[in-house]
Structures are given as C-alpha cells and as structure tokens.
Amino acid sequence: GRGCRRDPRGQRIDPDGRKSSGILLVLVILTFASYFTVKVEAAFYVGWSFLGLLLFTAAFFRDPDRTAPGGEQDAVSAADGTVMDVSPVESPDWEDGKALRIAVFMNVFNVHVNRSPLAGKVLRTEHHPGKKLPVLYARAEHENEYCDTDIESSMGLVRIRQIAGVI
C-alpha cells in the first residue's frame, strides 16, 4: 500500500495509524514516567488506559498482506467484514439506471483496508463529504461521507462505494 511500512511480522500500518500510535506511545511513556518519578497514582491507571488504546489503534490500522484467490476474471470482497445485503438498487447516474449493491459491514476488529475487488482500470475516484453517523442507522448510507471508485473491468463498469462510519 501507499505510504505503509512493514513491521517485523510482515504487517503494514496505515500512515494515520502510525501518527496516532506515535502520539499514544508518547502519552504512555509520559504517564508511566510520572507515576514512577513523582508517584502520581492516577498516572498508573491512565498509563494502562493509554497502552490499551495504543494496542487497539495499532490493530485497527493494520494492513496485512493478502493474496486474492482465483484469477483476473474473479471478483472478491473489497473488505473484511460481513456481507449485509446483496440487492439491485436504483442508480440514476449509472448507464441503465440500476446497479447491484453488495453491502459489507466492518466492525472495529476487521481490517479497515479496502482493496480492489477485481482486476481493471480505475476510471474515476470521487470523494463526497458528509456526516459520520453510526453505520447501523439506515440514513447513514445516504448522509455519511463516502468515496466512489469506478473501475472498467472484464465484467463491465463497476463502482465501489466506501462509506465512513463514526470511527
């Protein structure tokens, strides 16, 4: 991935995750240092909280190596998670006004890196600002920030829509 570095276990960490983890690491060090030098008892508990948050952040932003099964004619899920819906939807900006929607819900424990689900040429990417409502709200699909990526593939034109949630 772009801008990602490998860690010793063969994993990459997203750049945003490196920044957040770095800040949390400094906070862990400072709070434990204050506990051991000044004996501020609350710093002990705050330090453990920061350490837990650091571990969660590093896990959330992980980017493990993946090899897609099949060949160039096959499509795979763009993301880890649970397929919540597969259905036709109205899509006025699409060629025939309809599209196939495959909704994948990612919880906080899933890898949050999305990959191209099929081989092809990226024709367009477009970011749409919006809210960051919890994705379990029905209106989040229409009101939240999202990014569209249109891909020309052997299956025809495919649009990938990534919708942001509260986290």
* Tens digit of each residue's pLDDT (9 = 90 or more) over 23-33: 999 999 999 99
Could you give the maximum distance between any two Cα atoms of the chain, in Å? 69
Asked if pLDDT for residue 116 goes beyond 80, the answer is yes
pLDDT at 9: 52
pLDDT at 54: 95
Which residue would you say has higher pLDDT here, 23 or 156?
A: 23
Q: Among 16-30, 56-70, 89-103, which stretch is predicted with the lowest mean pLDDT?
A: 89-103
Pairing of strands 11-13, 5-6: antiparallel
Residue located via tokens 């400094």 = 26
Mean of all residue pLDDT scores within the chain: 83
Q: Contact 79/104 with Cβ under 8 angstroms? A: yes
pLDDT at 44: 93
pLDDT at 7: 47
Which residue would you say has higher pLDDT here, 45 or 101?
A: 45
Q: What does the alpha-carbon distance between residue 81 and residue 103 come to, in Å, rounded to a whole number?
A: 10
Q: What does the alpha-carbon distance between residue 20 and residue 164 come to, in Å, rounded to a whole number?
A: 18
Q: What DSSP designation does 119 have? A: -
3-state secondary structure 36-101: HHHCCHHHHHHHHHHHHHHHHHHHHCEEECCCCCCCCCCCCCCCCCEEEEEEEEECCCCCCCEEEE
pLDDT at 11: 63
- State pLDDT tens for residues 57-84: 988 888 888 777 877 778 888 888 888 8
Question: Distances in Å between the alpha carbon of 65 and those of 6, 10, 85?
Answer: 10, 7, 27
**CB atoms closer than 10 angstroms to residue 14:** 20
Statement: the pTM of the whole predicted model exceeds 0.75 = no
pLDDT at 6: 45
Q: How far is CA 154 from the centre of its chain?
A: 26
pLDDT at 27: 96
